[in-house]
Structure 1
């Protein structure tokens, strides 16, 4: 069969949130007398909540238990989203356009509470048949767990899914799951060339997410 489902990442694909995550995490690390590194945000992109909070506590020297780090950062992000959700141009239209032709899933590294908040404010909750955070599976991206689980919940073979991703870890994750892969890289956090080379197609914006791009036909 052809493509039966489209699975979107959220951060960096539907919302321009990576700069916001970076600022919130950076300021928190500084506040807690940690050691922020130039590549810290890139390393955390795709990590599950447990993974990035442990990284901040252990590797960046934040003087709080990982569980407290996670709680604090999620609360700070929720406050930001309550004021404004930084939807990328064409995001809502792309989701609604795709939902007219395919079943949709969401495979995100954001915690479930933030996913729900973003989708509610964007008016997109009803567009997705399966929504999953990496915190609900065994491993975060680049492991394929979140994509494989979304496909399972959609009752679709992963090879009959198209994934839309932006980051190195996200691209590796969707590729490892065996999905057709569309890269929508963000210029501020470009994926490494080897990961980008795995994509079946690369788009500059979501207006380019056409039927032909999704299906490869």
Structure 2
């Protein structure tokens, strides 16, 4: 079996929601609860538009969808509160994430680049026992714009001391893939139902982090014994 990447990344940067943690469904549930409170039943188009975007942008999108754009701050607050509660009740690590992260940490520095608040990301990863593997958690703040802007991935690469072109991003959403590609990283896409644009931009795609070829690749890189 040939390796999926004949190359060792100088750093690996993971998305969190939907990639390391099975928490995208919590965002979906939180969005649904807020919208239904305002008499709106979200459709598939809304689900696609809202996936992976910064929570403040999602709040604005929900307010516009509900025909109440002036309520964006209120709906954003309710969205974030609902998500925090759902994650606290049921934090679930994505299949294969634990082994992939532990193997990758043996050959490259790791970072997380997320659109979520820092405390949410760190709490999720800590609960899953993964936080100790990550030297850096990068989220939108100050001059760092959220995905799909390239800022979080550029900042993650810089924090790891690597050039973006030498780094691998692991992403599940079109928004995140656009961010990583714009930053110049190579991309491993993850998910069972990728859209055409995501497939076209990703360097390789797997249905889940349990993918056999992916884990074989990570083990082979770890066995090389070179920690960048």
1:191 is matched with which residue? 194
Equivalence map 1:153-164=2 (5 Å): 153-164=159-170
SS in 2 for 1:134: coil
1:179 aligns with one of 178, 181, 185: 185
Larger radius of gyration: 2
* Structure 1 alignment gaps of length 5 or more: none
Query: Deviations 1:147-193 (Å, cap 9, x if unpaired)?
Result: 111112222111111001111111111111111111112x3xx3321
Task: Tell which deviates more after alignment, 155-164 or 63-72.
Answer: 63-72
What is the rounded CA distance, in whole Å, between the counterparts of 1:137 and 1:71 in structure 2? 22
TM-score where L is the length of structure 2: 0.83
SS in 2 for 1:105: strand
Retained in 2: the 8 A contact 1:81–1:117?
Answer: no
Retained in 2: the 8 A contact 1:24–1:73?
Answer: yes
**Shift of residue 90, structure 1, vs aligned partner:** 1.4
Q: CA RMSD in A?
A: 2.3
The alignment status of 1:17 with 2:23, answered yes or no, reads yes
Distance 1:192 1:169, change over 3 A: same
Task: Tell which deviates more after alignment, 158-167 or 12-21.
Answer: 12-21
Retained in 2: the 8 A contact 1:34–1:62?
Answer: no
1:73 is matched with which residue? 79
Give the count of matched residue pairs: 212
The alignment status of 1:85 with 2:91, answered yes or no, reads yes
